[in-house]
A = this chain, B = another copy of it.
């Protein structure tokens, strides 16, 4: 008998009929001889509706009160899914974030899970119940309701799995698993049977929409094996786990793309300590996430920094940089470029294989695609290209590494 945590997103519980489907799946999993704790999100649409009501009272509603308001969405779901399980004759209990023993830190609406006391859940599972746990929420040490922000329900599922000692955590979603690339762009993309935490992390931070980085990090930290699979069918999905020797011996696991990027280049910066920090702090203070960072010294002996960000942030970035550059030097200039996209190749095999960058750049070159910036990590090579060519670029690189073919 295995102990399985299943996570169902807002679409999966979006209507009465879909809630019935969730209940049927939980029952099936139990009938196969397993214990089940289902972590559920709010019914799709509810959260947006509540946010809409809150915004009637001002554009920046108190985050403490937003937590109180938004946590009701999941609380409704857990009660309804429990009732649907009762209808099928399954003993089921709803479990709020508080009852799940989830304590949090961080600011309101963006909580981080600090600890879980799983006693209530363990006792209730041992008593023969299916549990239906509210995703996305916990309580602060002061006893206030605290939500976990975007992707919070995935995080809850991983954390609950760690706390109750689950054998596996199934993330049930609207995709079949993790693919070598988005199948809407690369039609011969292949579903991966397994992928390592590190690869999943790099893909998540490179635009793959399946899961947020922090949930993957949490799973890696606590060794929670999880599976990304479809809530609509019973096909096996993709197992995400620590890398192991039997893992498919490939160089590149997958390719991801991220659109709507922009580049900012600052020239004419004195080559002195602390200059980069000043620039990056100004962007951080303006809450701009920057992604690729490249620095070097130009022929005039001055430093030159380039970074990428979402193109929506470009105006904000220019405004934030203006006073800093005025302070640094009369020589420094900002140059910007929007309309670019990022292509990333990810794979733990890169560590032991050479020539990956060469293969990638050759494929892009043969497709007539110009490379802008390049940045690398131990298991990733990322480049920027013109946004109009990003799909061609993805297909060319996917082909070059023969990602459509299962490795021998």
**Residues of chain A whose beta carbon lies under 8 Å from any beta carbon of chain B:** 16, 20, 50, 53-54, 56-58, 61-62, 64-66, 68-69, 71-72, 75-76, 78-80, 82-84, 86-87, 93-94, 96, 98-99, 120, 143-145
Contacts and interface: CB of A to CB of B under 8 A. Distances in A.
Interface centre among A57, A76, A86 (most CB of B within 10 A): A57
A378 to B, nearest CB: 45
Contacts of A144: 99
A375 to B, nearest CB: 43
Contacts of A57: 16, 20, 80, 83-84, 86-87
Given A86-B61, A143-B99, A145-B96, A66 B54 contact: no
A51 B222 CA distance: 40
Contacts of A143: 98-99, 120
Contacts of A78: 68
A274 B383 CA distance: 92
A76 to B, nearest CB: 5
A8 B319 CA distance: 47
Contacts of A80: 53-54, 57, 69
Contact of A75 (B54, B61, B64, B72): B72
Interface centre among A58, A83, A93, A96 (most CB of B within 10 A): A83
Interface centre among A62, A75, A84 (most CB of B within 10 A): A62
B62 A82 contact: yes
Contacts of A75: 68-69, 71-72, 75
Interface centre among A61, A68, A120, A143 (most CB of B within 10 A): A68
Contacts of A87: 57-58
Nearest to A56: B16
Contact of A83 (B58, B72, B94): B58
A54 B68 contact: no
B94 A76 contact: no
A82 B54 CA distance: 10
Contact of A65 (B20, B82, B98): B82
A161 to B, nearest CB: 22
A62 B81 CA distance: 12
Contacts of A68: 75, 78-79, 82, 94, 96
A76 B96 contact: no
Given A54-B79, A58-B87, A68-B82, 10 more contacts: A20-B57, A54-B83, A61-B86, A62-B82, A64-B94, A65-B83, A65-B94, A68-B78, A72-B75, A99-B144
A297 B57 CA distance: 68
Contact of A79 (B56, B66, B99): B66
A82 B87 CA distance: 37
A58 B86 contact: yes
A79 B58 contact: no
23 contacts: A16-B53, A16-B56, A50-B76, A53-B80, A54-B80, A57-B84, A57-B86, A57-B87, A58-B83, A61-B83, A61-B86, A62-B82, A62-B86, A65-B83, A65-B94, A68-B75, A68-B94, A71-B75, A72-B75, A72-B76, A96-B145, A98-B143, A120-B143
**4 closest A-B pairs (Cβ-Cβ)?**
A69-B79, A72-B72, A57-B83, A68-B79
Interface centre among A71, A79, A82 (most CB of B within 10 A): A79
A65 B53 contact: no
Contacts of A145: 96
A200 to B, nearest CB: 34
Contacts of A93: 64
A92 to B, nearest CB: 8
Contact of A76 (B61, B69, B84, B86): B69
Nearest to A62: B86
